[in-house]
Structure formats: C-alpha cells, structure tokens
C-alpha cells in the first residue's frame, strides 16, 4: 500500500482531471479565459483602459488582444468610441456578447467533462 | 463582413477548440502529457537515464517526476533495479502500464470532446 497519499481522507476523491481549453482561429488563440475576462471587463467599464487596469494588464496588451479577437471574428467584438470629454471609450458589440456566452458555455461543458473523467479515474485507477 | 480571416478557405473549419488536460493528486500534477511520455520511454529503454536523454530532460528532473508519480499512485509506477554490469535500470510496473493506458484513454476522450466542441463553435459562432 505504499504511495497512498496520507493527507487525503479516504472519502475524498483521490484524483481530479484538470485542464484548460481555448478556441483557435486563423492566427492562433482567438478566445481563452483571459481574453473573455477582458471582454467582460470592457462590457462592465465601457473602456479598454479601465478594463485593462482592473486585470493588472497593460493598455498595450489589452489593445493587442482586442485587435486579435476583432481580426479573427466574423464581426468586431469591441469597437472604440471616439470623442467626448475625457476621450473615447469602448463598447462590446452584440458579436462580443455572443463570444462571451459561447466561451462560458464551452467552459461549462468542459467542467462537466472533467468531472466525468475524474469519476472514471477514481473508479478505475 | 470585416474580420473574416482571408487565409482560410471557406470549406475549412474556421475555429478549433484546443486544450490540455492532466490528472492532479495530493501534491498537484500526478499524470500529464510529459510524465506519461516519460513512463513510455522508461518502458521502452528500461532506464531512467536513457528515457530522460531521449526527451532532452535532465536525469534529476526525470527522477523527480518518477518520484512524484510513485508517491501519488496507489502502487509504484516505476521501480529501480540495482546491480549488474553497467549499474541498475528501471522497470515500469503493471500499475505503470495501467497509468499509461488510463491517460491515453483520457486523452482520446478529450480529443473527441474537443472535436465535438469545435463543431459547436463553427456551427454556432
């Protein structure tokens, strides 16, 4: 019985299947956890600058991610709004909202998949 | 129709769902792509040194991974064989063989999951 982890109570599942998924497009990553979180923050704040700040991400990096998503999507996910006092903001488009929803649904399916696989590992290993 | 990637022919699937999975145990990672490849090479070569060399991995790193897997498994996956001319080797145990098989099956299920999710993304996005 050597090798059985001593810290795990016997009733607790011993192993869990973990992982990451992302959606690739023509350029490589199109949507992943970080990109979708950025879209959600842009929706919340109406500003790439503030969205980036809330994620401790540079504006430059956030802008590059938005541009990458816009290029790979069928329609822009984020559009910049210019003018007005204090400069322009950014608006999440309907396509952007659909991208968030799609990724969250994928992620929920992936969670279910990992739970199912964890049960397989714990029963069969 | 801005944003449609010009390099992709229209008949080709536009997006693919990609990802990684691994199995976590009491200490964190128990089995992942690199660890299972190491087990397969140990089975092939009967030597941690040669297995590590074939993967351009240091002996120390390979040994640490083997120890980590052995500690977290119900029974050792690899045992060292001592003595004989030229020093000892390493043998994959039956539990080691089952661990490889289990992970390869998980990985095959994950590939099917990603293919299914890719179809969802391409049809729905």
Higher pLDDT, residue A124 or A14: A14
**CB-nearest partner of B19 from A4, A22, A70:** A22
Question: Which among B25, B71, B75 has CB closest to A15?
Answer: B25
A20/B22 touch (CB, cutoff 8 Å), yes or no: no
Task: Read off the pLDDT band of B74 (50, 70, 90).
Answer: confident
pLDDT at A4: 41
A19 vs chain B: nearest CA distance in angstroms?
Answer: 4
Work out the average pLDDT over B98-112: 97
> For helices B94-124 and A94-124, what crossing angle results, to 10°?
160
Put simply, whether A28 touches B (Cβ < 8 Å) is: no
Task: Reply yes or no on whether the pLDDT at B60 is more than 90.
Answer: yes
d(CA A62, CA A51): 8
Neighbours of B87 (CB within 10 A): 11
Chain B CB contacts of A16 under 8 Å are: 23-24
B19 pLDDT higher than 90: yes
Q: Does A79 touch chain B (CB under 8 A)?
A: no
The reply to whether the predicted model has a pTM over 0.80 is: yes
In a mutational test of the B interface, the residue from A8, A104, A110, A114 whose CB has the highest number of chain B CBs within 10 Å is A110
Q: What is the CATH number of domain A26-114?
A: 1.10.10.10
CA distance A89 to chain B (A): 21
Q: Which pLDDT score, from 0 to 100, does residue A10 have?
A: 41
> Quick check: B7 contacting A, CB < 8 Å?
yes
What's the Rg (C-alpha) of chain B? 20
Over residues A93-114, the pLDDT tens digits come to 999 999 999 999 999 999 999 9
Give the ipTM of the model, two decimals please: 0.85
Task: Give residue limits of the domains in chain B.
Answer: 26-117
Confidence label for B7 from pLDDT (cuts 50, 70 and 90): very low
Helix ranges (DSSP H) in A1-125: 33-45, 48-54, 59-72, 94-124
| A9-53 pLDDT, tens digit each | 444 569 999 999 999 999 999 999 999 999 999 999 999 999 999
pLDDT bin (cut points 50, 70, 90) of residue B48 is very high
What pLDDT is attached to residue B8? 45
The reply to whether residue A5 touches residue B120, judged by beta carbons under 8 angstroms, is no
- CA-to-CA distance for A45 and A42, rounded, in angstroms? 5
Structural contact between residues A77 and A93, judged by C-beta atoms closer than 8 angstroms: yes
CATH class of B26-117: mainly alpha
> Is-contact A91 A51, C-beta < 8 A?
no
Residue A19's DSSP bridge partners are B21
Q: What pLDDT does B24 receive? A: 97
């Amino acid at each position: 019985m050597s090798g059985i982890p001593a810290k795990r109570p016997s009733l607790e599942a011993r192993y869990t299947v973990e992982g990451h998924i992302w959606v690739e497009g023509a350029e490589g990553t199109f949507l992943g956890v970080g990109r979708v979180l950025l879209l959600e923050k842009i929706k919340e704040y109406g500003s790439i600058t503030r969205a980036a700040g809330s994620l401790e991400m540079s504006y430059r990096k956030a802008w590059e991610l938005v541009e990458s998503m816009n290029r790979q999507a069928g329609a822009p996910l984020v559009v910049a709004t210019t003018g007005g006092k204090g400069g322009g903001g950014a608006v999440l488009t309907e396509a952007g909202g659909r991208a968030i929803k799609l990724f969250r649904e994928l992620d929920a399916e992936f969670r279910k998949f990992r739970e199912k696989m964890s049960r397989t590992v714990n029963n069969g290993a």
